[in-house]
Amino acid sequence: MHRTLLSSDFNFPGQKSRYKGKVRDVYNIDDKYLLMIVSDRISAFDVVLPRGIPYKGQVLNQIAAKFLDATSDIVPNWKIATPDPSVTIGYKCEPYPVEMIVRACLTGSAWRSYKAGAREICGVRIPDGMKENQKFDKPVITPTTKAAQGNHDEDISRDQILKAGLIPEEEYDMIEEYAMAVFERGSSIADSHDLILVDTKYEFGKMNGEICLIDEINTPDSSRYFYKEEYQERLDNDLPQRQLSKEFVREWLMANGFQGQKGQKVPEMTDQFVNEISERYIELYEKITGERFIRTDIENIEERIEMNCMKFLSSL
């Protein structure tokens, strides 16, 4: 099997701290920049699985970088450069405590709530008679709280956000406007590749008083895509949609008796399955971007990342 990057522990010039998320290792440089290394870790059901996926970090980082560049005319974003295929360096912003979930279709957790009888999700009214995966008349925003590490995000409405003073009204309205515009751009790009951008998560922050788009956007870890060509026929016949996301990993785990519940053990991930996941992520990259994926040399991945980052940091 190929080498993978499961964790990093670098010591960069000006480094103030290091934060390890489920997938990303984030280095604070001089309280001014964030150096984000996208590892090859993979999570499902809020659990980081024991084996890394070759090239996964590169796939996610490069998709996010492309979409940040493709939407920079809509809203400023945190990205400065990608000095390594698995690394993005950007400005350190003050994040808002809310994540913006934009949905074009009734699917995932929204569908589960709807199926259980809910007709209002995060303050958004959902009409009766909808089917799973059916498109809304226009995309909707269903915000969630931005949970502390180890906790689950929770649904929240616009009114609750404003009442709690989490975000000033004028800024929240601007964030909603940005989220919709970025989603529309992402949907247009997806459509050109015969895909439907079903739903996704956006995070925003502030830098020097200006609202900025932060973190990753429109990746298969933070988004769901359907194949456009088959969508309507599958919807009409109540068939599951073919989708581009890491849902196939969740399905494999569930089929092997794991849903992240207490006492459950992660099933063994064989070399063959790990390789299948890697190839699926590469397929996702090529389908979403319309470009061929170039596999970077990963034999000395830590040394490569350190060298590329040190070189770029010296130029800041």
Distance CA 37, CA 103 (A): 28
pLDDT value at residue 221: 86
Residue with more model confidence, 107 or 260: 107
Q: Where does a domain end: 200, 225, 243?
A: 243
| Residue 153 pLDDT | 75
Q: Give me the pLDDT at residue 125, please.
A: 96
208, 243, 278 — which closes off a domain?
243
Domain match, 304 and 194 both: no
Q: How much is the pLDDT for 316?
A: 87
Q: Given a cut of 80, is residue 140 above it in pLDDT?
A: yes
Same domain, 204 and 287: no
pTM of the model: 0.91
CA-to-CA separations, 291 to 72, 185, 194, 285, 287, in angstroms, rounded:
20, 18, 14, 8, 7
Which CATH number belongs to the domain containing residue 176 in this structure? Answer: 3.30.470.20
Instruction: Indicate if 57 and 115 belong to the same structural domain.
Output: no
| Per-residue pLDDT reduced to its tens digit, 246-304 | 878 888 898 999 988 888 999 999 999 999 999 989 998 999 999 999 999 988 999 99
Residue 239: pLDDT band by 50, 70, 90 thresholds? very high
Domain boundary residue, one of 243, 260, 286:
243
Is 163 inside any structural domain? yes
Clarify whether residues 87 and 196 are in a common domain.
Answer: no
Q: How confident is the model at residue 149 (pLDDT cuts 50, 70, 90)?
A: low
5 belongs to a structural domain: no
- The string of pLDDT tens digits covering residues 153-175 is 789 999 999 999 999 999 999 99
Phi, psi of 15 (to 5 degrees): -70, 125
Residue 127 has pLDDT above 90, yes or no: yes
Quote the CA–CA distance of 299 and 62 in Å, as a whole number: 19
Is the same domain home to 118 and 66? no
Identify whether 237 is part of a domain. yes
pLDDT per position as a tens digit, 6-32: 999 999 999 999 999 989 999 999 999
Local structure of 148: helix, strand or coil: coil
Does residue 244 surpass a pLDDT of 90?
no
Q: How far is CA 301 from CA 41, 192, 249, in A?
A: 14, 34, 25
Residues 167 and 303 in one domain: no
* Local confidence band at 2 (pLDDT 50, 70, 90 cut-offs): confident
Average pLDDT taken over every residue of the chain: 93
Same domain, 175 and 287: no
> Which residues span the domain enclosing 106?
95-243
Number of independent structural domains in the chain: 2
| pLDDT at residue 311, as a whole number | 97
- Say if 259 falls within a structural domain: no
The number of beta carbons lying within 10 Å of the beta carbon of residue 259 is: 11
Of the pLDDT bands very low, low, confident and very high (cuts 50, 70, 90), residue 243 is confident
Q: What is the pLDDT of residue 162?
A: 97
Same domain, 206 and 190: yes
What average pLDDT does range 85-114 have in this prediction?
96
**Could you tell me how many residues make up the chain?**
316
Residue 258, in any domain of the structure: no
Q: Is residue 104 located within the same domain as residue 49?
A: no
Q: What is the pLDDT of residue 230?
A: 96
**CATH number, domain containing residue 31:** 3.30.200.20
Are 89 and 175 part of one and the same domain? no
Distance linking the first and last C-alpha atoms of the chain = 36
Alpha helix locations (H) across the chain?
Answer: 56-70, 108-115, 158-163, 169-192, 228-236, 247-255, 271-289, 301-313
What are the percentages of helix, strand and coil residues in the chain, rounded to 5?
A: 35, 25, 40
Distance CA 178, CA 175 (A): 5
Residue 173 falls inside a structural domain: yes
151: pLDDT strictly greater than 80: no
pLDDT in the model for residue 108: 86
Average pLDDT over residues 197-220: 95
Residue 201: predicted pLDDT: 96
Is residue 226 domain-shared with residue 99, that is, in the same domain? yes
Does residue 248 belong to any structural domain of this protein?
A: no
Specify whether 102 is located in the same domain as 209.
Answer: yes
Judge whether 260 lies within some domain: no
pLDDT at 92 over 70: yes
